[in-house]
Amino acid sequence: MVLKHLLATQNVGPAMAKVLCVLYDDPTVGYPTAYARDDLPQVPGYPGGQTLPTPRGLGFTPGQLLGSVTGALGLREYLESQGHTLVVTSDKDGADSVFDRELVDADIVVSQPFWPAYLTAERIARAPRLKLAITAGIGSDHVDLDAAIEHGITVAEVTHSNSISVAEHVVMMILSLVRNYLPSHQVVLDGGWNIADCVARAYDLEGMHVGTVAAGRIGAAVLRRLAPFDVHLHYTDRHRLPRAVEDGLGLVFHESAADMVPFCDVVTINAPLHPETEGLFDDELIGAMKRGAYLINTARARIADRDAVVRALESGQLAGYAGDVWFPQPAPADHPWRTMPHHGMTPHISGSTLSAQARYAAGTREILENWFAGEPIRDEYLIVDGGKLAGAGAHSYSTNR
């Protein structure tokens, strides 16, 4: 009876499971045989005291490319030596994709937000064995959480694994837009030297008002990193930060994004995509920003209205937009964010540095080891479990239910 209950509440994986892993393609020149650097710096732990992943084994050398098909998140030897089946593919979209075909008898799906395997309600309905969906990284909005709840699927992500990676990218993008870095670099590539072309849109960040929508792991890390630039810092969040943190960084709290944005020269979005945040930056909210403000979105594309962003750049309401998140991913060749003026977009890369990959691959292995051993997955990794939002998911996400 006890065993039956344990099985019913999951977290006891089948003895031989099929793990379906959706990863991005290898580099166009082939899987690397050498790397730009010889090692990764040792990071002692995460801010706030959370420990780094603690798998029993690793299966890769930190610094290797793990997020692409050949890298296989370093999981192949571990899974196959335990008798499990590992299927790795980058072919994820459309009814005849490898992902679609292999999903029908998969027990576990692993996917990264950079190359998301969209686990829609329809797909979940066609995957009767599916019990665990792991996000190798952070942000599980590519999984229909309502459907996961309904079908008793556990959703877990490797919380904190790439938060600092993204925070560094945000700071880079803020400086890049404000200082007009990319167009100036293009002048060099083009063989030119017109200083005025470069500086006619270049400013200092010093003295500007910078606000973050959400001050969770990434948002707070961005605030801490920006404080030494002598800027004025603002934030909005569902929960207020401790008074000591506010005072230490000189933060101004606002009840909502609408309250905050009129004060800001730069706004950075660091909230999850869920029903409360979808479409938040529409014509009205962007229109409430200061003329010539910069908007940085490394959270999720659909938090901003795609066409409203284009309109605001064209009219000059926004002086720049940058980020690495698109919808859908990969973005089609004619996506308007590729060609809109004054943008600093990259593909979805900020959370997938080699440094981050080492952490989220280790975290993925830790989750799998726990699952197969019938041990609890760390609470901070859980998004959905036991038919409801759980752990980190209960804190930061909402559903349509």
Give the burial class of 291: count Cβ atoms within 10 A of its Cβ; 0-12 exposed, 13-18 middle, 19 or more buried. Answer: exposed
- 380, 50 Cβ separation under 8 angstroms: yes
**In this structure, how many other beta carbons lie within 10 angstroms of the beta carbon of residue 119?**
25
Q: Quick one: tokens of 208? A: 């500007």
DSSP 8-state assignment for residue 376: P
Using CB under 6 A, which residues numbered 49 to 78 contact ligand NDP?
Answer: none
Q: Binding to ligand NDP by residue 163, rule CB under 6 A?
A: yes
Residue of 329, 343, 359, 365 marked catalytic: 329
Answer for which of 10, 236, 317, 355 binds ligand NDP (CB under 6 A) is 236
- 320, 343 Cβ separation under 8 angstroms: yes
Q: Give the total of residues touching ligand NDP (CB under 6 A).
A: 34
Q: Binding to ligand NDP by residue 138, rule CB under 6 A?
A: yes
274 annotated among ligand-binding-site residues: yes
Residue of 123, 209, 300, 359 marked catalytic: 300
Smallest separation (angstroms) from ligand NDP to the CB of 310: 20
Q: Quick one: tokens of 359? A: 């952490």
Q: Is 261 left (phi over 0), alpha (psi -120 to 50) or beta?
A: alpha
275 annotated among ligand-binding-site residues: yes
Q: Which of 138, 142, 103 is nearest to 124 (CA)?
A: 103
Smallest separation (angstroms) from ligand NDP to the CB of 218: 3
- 303, 278 Cβ separation under 8 angstroms: yes
Answer for which of 20, 155, 164, 166 binds ligand NDP (CB under 6 A) is 166
How would you classify the pairing of strands 388-389 and 382-385? Answer: antiparallel
In the bound state with ligand NDP, the residue whose beta carbon lies nearer, of 238 and 401, is: 238
For ligand NDP, the nearest residue by Cβ is 216
Q: Binding to ligand NDP by residue 391, rule CB under 6 A?
A: no
DSSP 8-state assignment for residue 389: E
Q: Binding to ligand NDP by residue 144, rule CB under 6 A?
A: no
Chain position carrying tokens 């006890």: 2
Q: Binding to ligand NDP by residue 116, rule CB under 6 A?
A: no
Query: Which residues are documented as binding site for substrate?
Result: 138, 162
The catalytic site residues sit at: 162, 300, 329, 348
- Give residues in contact with ligand NDP (CB under 6 A): 137-139, 162-163, 166, 213-219, 236-239, 270-273, 276-277, 298-300, 324-325, 348, 350-351, 392, 395-396
